[in-house]
C-alpha cells in the first residue's frame, strides 16, 4: 500500500472501478494524494501489478463488518452420536430418544448406531425395525439424511434437523436463550467422527 509498493509502474484502477491505464508509480501515488485516497495493490502477481485508489481504512472496516455478519449467520453443524442395542429396554429407548430429540432441537445432526453382538448379527431386521421406529417418532423435528447401513457389527443411520428446526435453534441462540444443559455423567456427548462417546444401553 502506498510507499510500500515496489513496482516501477502499475496498472491503475480508479475509485469507481474505472481503468486509468499503466502509469509510473510516482504518478499513481500523486493521483492518490490528490484525491486523499490510498494506493492499494490488489493484484501483485500481475505484470505490471494492479493497484486501486481507495479509502483503505473504510475498506478494512466494511470487510470486518461483513465477516462478523457472515459468522453470525453461519451455524456450525455438530454431529452427535447415540448408540443402541437391538434389544434395548423400553425405558432406555425412551431416554435415548429424548437425547436425540434434544440434539435435533439444538440444530445438530445425530448419528444413530445399532451395535450387534454375537448371534444378534444374524438378525439385522431388528436394527432396521428399531431405526425405522426412531425415525418415525422424531419425524416432526428431523429426517433421515443417511439411510440405515450395515457396517461390520454396527448399523448406522444419520438424522438431520429440518430447516425449520435449525432456524428455530439459530434464533434461540441469537436471542440469547440458554443452551441445552450439559450432559451429566453417563449422558452422550459430542461425537467427533474418530472417537464418539460411548452411550451404549444394554
The per-residue pLDDT for range 111-144, each reduced to its tens digit, is 999 999 888 888 899 999 999 999 999 999 999 9
What are the strands, taking DSSP E only, across 50-99? Answer: 50-54, 79-84
Same domain membership, residue 120 and residue 50:
no
Give the dihedral of Cα atoms 193, 154, 106, 93; nearest 10 deg.
-150
pLDDT band at 46 (very low <50, low <70, confident <90, very high): confident
Provide φ and ψ at 98, rounded to 5°.
-60, -40
Domain membership flag for residue 184:
no
Q: What is the pLDDT of residue 90?
A: 92
Residue with cell 494506493: 39
pLDDT at 200: 44
CATH code for position 28: 3.10.20.80
pLDDT in tens, 53-87: 999 888 888 888 888 877 766 656 678 999 999 99
4-44 pLDDT, tens digit each: 888 889 999 988 888 988 999 999 999 899 889 999 999 88
Any domain includes 27: yes
Is the pLDDT reported for residue 196 higher than 50?
no
Q: State whether 94 and 52 are in the same domain.
A: no
> Is 80 exceeded by the pLDDT of residue 197?
no
- Report the distance separating Cα 122 and Cα 145, nearest Å: 26
- Whether residue 183 has pLDDT greater than 70: no
For residue 170, pLDDT over 50 is answered with yes
Q: How high is the pLDDT of residue 201?
A: 43
In a domain, 118, yes or no: yes
Counted domains in the chain:
2
The verdict on 150 and 84 lying in the same domain is: yes
Q: What is the largest CA-CA distance in the chain?
A: 84
The reply to whether 155 falls in a domain is yes
Residue 109 belongs to a domain:
yes
d(CA 59, CA 54): 8
Q: Which domain holds residue 157?
A: 79-174
| Per-residue pLDDT at 73 | 62
Residue 186 pLDDT greater than 50, yes or no:
no
Amino acid at each position: 500500500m502506498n510507499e510500500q509498493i515496489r513496482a516501477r509502474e502499475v496498472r491503475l484502477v480508479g475509485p469507481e472501478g474505472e481503468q486509468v491505464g499503466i502509469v509510473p508509480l510516482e504518478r499513481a501515488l500523486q493521483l492518490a494524494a490528490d484525491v486523499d485516497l490510498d494506493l492499494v495493490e490488489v493484484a501483485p502477481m500481475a505484470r505490471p501489478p494492479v493497484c486501486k485508489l481507495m479509502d483503505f481504512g473504510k475498506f478494512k472496516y466494511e470487510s470486518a463488518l461483513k465477516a462478523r455478519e457472515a459468522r453470525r449467520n453461519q451455524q456450525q453443524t455438530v454431529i452427535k452420536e447415540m448408540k443402541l442395542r437391538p434389544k434395548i429396554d423400553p425405558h432406555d429407548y425412551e431416554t435415548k430418544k429424548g437425547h436425540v430429540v434434544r440434539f435435533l432441537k439444538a440444530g445438530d445432526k445425530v448419528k444413530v448406531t445399532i451395535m450387534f453382538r454375537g448371534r444378534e448379527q444374524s438378525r439385522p431386521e431388528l436394527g432396521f425395525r428399531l431405526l425405522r421406529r426412531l425415525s418415525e417418532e422424531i419425524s416432526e423435528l428431523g429426517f433421515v439424511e443417511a439411510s440405515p447401513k450395515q457396517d461390520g457389527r454396527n448399523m448406522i443411520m444419520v438424522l438431520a434437523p429440518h430447516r425449520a428446526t435449525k432456524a428455530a435453534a439459530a434464533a434461540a441462540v441469537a436471542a440469547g436463550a440458554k443452551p441445552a444443559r450439559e450432559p451429566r455423567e453417563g449422558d452422550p456427548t459430542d461425537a467427533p467422527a474418530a472417537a464418539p462417546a460411548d452411550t451404549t444401553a444394554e
